[in-house]
């Protein structure tokens, strides 16, 4: 009987300890991860996602992406959770993936496919990503990375004068 009580106490305490824990998605294993690497390298010139976040993931951007958190215990509405996310590569990558998916598969450069170039355009310009002009520096950095990880290269300006996007609500 005593062993049963001890067993029950251990099970109950482990349930209380772990109550509310959710699995955090592993974005670093996503097939989109190589794209995010190049997107970040293009924007920041750095290979570390933390530098990319510092340059291009504002608190508003993070909130629009769904306020991803590092652990289930984090409060998605707090400044501390935002700062903690910017220090965690998985959270940064997830935030960028979620943000760039919020407009659907917007074909920003009108090449009839949704790819990494469109994600970069959405990352930089949001829903005003039509006919994106990235500039030579971002394009060069992006293409350096693209050659390493097998992502399609881009031009400093994508799309043409006939490129228009449908309105996304």
Here the tokens at position 93 are 């990558």
Residue 127 · residue 168 · CB < 8 Å: yes
CATH number for the domain formed by residue range(s) 31-149: 1.10.530
Collapsing DSSP states into helix, strand and coil, what is residue 168?
A: coil
pLDDT in tens, the chain (169 residues): 544 434 333 333 333 333 333 457 999 999 999 999 999 999 998 887 777 888 789 999 999 999 999 999 999 999 999 999 999 999 999 999 999 999 889 999 888 999 999 999 999 999 888 888 899 999 999 999 999 999 888 878 776 665 665 554 4
Here the tokens at position 107 are 């074909």
Per domain, the residue ranges of the chain are 31-149
SS (H, E, C) 117-160: HHHHHHHHHCCCCCCCECCHHHHHHHHHHHHHHCCCCCCCECCC
Q: Model pTM?
A: 0.79
């Amino acid at each position: 009987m005593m062993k049963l009580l001890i067993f029950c106490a251990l099970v109950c305490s482990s349930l209380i300890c772990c109550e509310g824990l959710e699995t955090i998605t592993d974005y670093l294993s996503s097939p989109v991860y190589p794209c995010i690497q190049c997107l970040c390298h293009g924007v920041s010139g750095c290979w570390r996602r933390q530098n990319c976040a510092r340059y291009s993931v504002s608190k508003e951007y993070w909130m629009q992406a769904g306020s991803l958190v590092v652990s289930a215990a984090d409060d998605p509405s707090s400044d501390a959770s935002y700062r903690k996310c910017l220090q965690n590569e998985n959270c940064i990558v997830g935030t960028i993936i979620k943000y760039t998916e919020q407009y659907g598969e917007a074909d920003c450069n009108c090449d009839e496919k949704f790819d990494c170039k469109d994600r970069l355009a959405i990352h930089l310009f949001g829903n005003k990503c039509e006919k994106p002009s990235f500039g030579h520096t971002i394009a060069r950095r992006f293409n350096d990375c693209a050659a390493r990880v097998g992502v399609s290269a881009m031009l400093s300006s994508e799309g043409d004068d006939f490129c228009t996007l449908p309105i996304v609500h």
